[in-house]
Amino acid sequence: MTLETDFVVVGSGIAGLRAAVELARAGARVTVLTKDRREESNTEYAQGGVAVALSEEDEPQHHEEDTLAAGAGLCDERAVEVLVGDGRRYIEELIEWGTEFDREGGRLLFTREAAHSRARILHARGDATGHEIVRALLARAGAERNISFLAHAETESLVVGEGRVCGVRYLDPLVRAPRALAARGVVLATGGAGALYLHTTNPAVATGDGMAMAYRAGAELSDMEFIQFHPTALNLEAAPRFLLSEALRGEGGVLRNASGRRFMPRYHDAAELAPRDVVTRSIVAEMERTATRTVFLDMTAFDAAHLRRRFPKIYRTCLRYGLDLGREPIPVSPAAHYVMGGVRTDLEGRTTLPGLYAAGEVACTGVHGANRLASNSLLEGLVFGGRAGRAAAGDSKGAPVRFASDAEEAATRPGGADKDVGRVSAAAAAVRKRVRRLMWERVGILRTRAGLERALKEFGEIASAPLLAGPRNFVTVAAIIARSALWREESRGGHYRLDFPARDDARWRVHSVIQRDAGLYGSETVDFPALQSRET
């Protein structure tokens, strides 16, 4: 059975919700599919806040300069201009829609985080910024009669007909049977792929499905080798890798080794406020130097009442595991956090495949370059989610809803499902566990040719076995990240090669681009369709 809508939005984080609102405002019927409950997304877990040049002491130009510096020479300058320029209007709109950012004396309260030259980070309830933004956007989306939500509906594949994306296939959440949904266009807002790693700050739903579906359908992916590892995730044996926000170090927290000595000033002039990739590698080096598996984030110089008020969620979570943030240093170590690359888009969210749009972490707009500036991700999802929704509505005015033929549709489906669901579930769990360990050990913070080649060999062996769609997506994205990392023979931003430790602008100031039928090559720009500097 094939159902119809005007547009499908896959994902209900900040980018998906903002796109859905924009489409509904244009009069379109919008169906939002979510893999889990509609509140579950990377946005929901965002603690650090949203960066925006709104204070009297700040200007978009300063925000742009900081973003370009963090991106290590690979940011698209026009995309950054759009982010910091339009960002102010989009944040003001969020406030009009009821988002309650923290204030002091009635004025918005701005804080500073690593690699920012100004205090420009807005928070909500201290460390619950993402939760508050999702609440406000869900309320705004709920006011639009044209938007409907379908939760626990796992999208299996994009449907392509006559070279255009014209719908999706998903699993019906009630009967777990395949369903088809035809549309004039699809907006991917599925988030990132942090859950591909053994240690991650991301929720379990962040498995790169949108990237895999877009790749399989023929869209280009770019900059997939650049993975940001957050330096400070809670490191306890019995606890999840809960994120300890960048704002803790922005507030003045310091990192100490197992002997209680502060070490970051030895690695970088900015100490704890150095870019995330620098802090992450410094922690790894210090753990190796001291033969330990953790370092400690020390906030004991601050009054406990202040910490409870400023970081309520972090404070409560630490207490749940027997740790008092105000009385003792907290054990931390790095964890996979954010994918700078993704489905290649222009400044309006258009991908290289007609009818397909992408926004948020699933997309590669060129904003982040090789290393995302702290707290830019929520702003990117908001700004480019809105732009993608507007472009999708405008591009398809008057276009009919049509579905692909069976033959066309079969080409983009993952296939490989086994009828023995119990056995496949066990096999899928084993595959995910093996992939996560390989990604952490071989495609992680420190990379080498030998390690990447070994990972790719094992991914190839895993992919040759019959799998359900979920694990196949998992392995597809893992292999793309590893292949891109093997291709880039330098170190830059979130990609560090022990065998090529230097940044090499003469050869590698290019974007990696990978496509199912064209392989992997380099492009000097994120623009398309004109591509330059092809390297196979």
- Catalytic residue positions? 276
How far is it, in rounded angstroms, from Cα 192 to Cα 15?
A: 12
Closest by CA to 337, choosing from 431, 274, 243, is: 243
Length of the chain: 536
Which residues on neighbouring strands pair with residue 16, listed in sequence order?
none
Tell me the torsion sign for CA atoms 378, 514, 467, 7: positive
Q: What is d(CA 115, CA 529) in angstroms, rounded to the nearest whole number?
A: 34
Q: How far apart are CA 503 and CA 492, in angstroms?
A: 6
The token pair that represents 120 in the structure block: 């420009």
DSSP 325-373: TTTSPEEEEEEEEEES-EEE--TTSB-SSTTEEE-GGGEE-SSSTTSPP
> Using CA atoms, how far apart are residues 12 and 360, in angstroms rounded to an integer?
11
| 327, two tokens | 């009385």
Structure tokens at 297: 């984030």
What backbone phi and psi angles, to 5 degrees, belong to 510? -135, 160
Beta partners for residue 402, in sequence order: none
d(CA 80, CA 512): 19
What gap in Å lies between CA 14 and CA 30, rounded to an integer?
16
**Which segments of 155-195 are extended strands (E)?**
155-161, 164-171, 178-182, 185-188
Q: Are 348 and 386 in contact (CB under 8 A)?
A: no
352: tokens are: 């290289």
Residue 213: phi, psi to the nearest 5? -65, -40
Measured between alpha carbons, how far is residue 326 from residues 36, 245, 308, 316, 453 in Å?
35, 15, 9, 11, 45
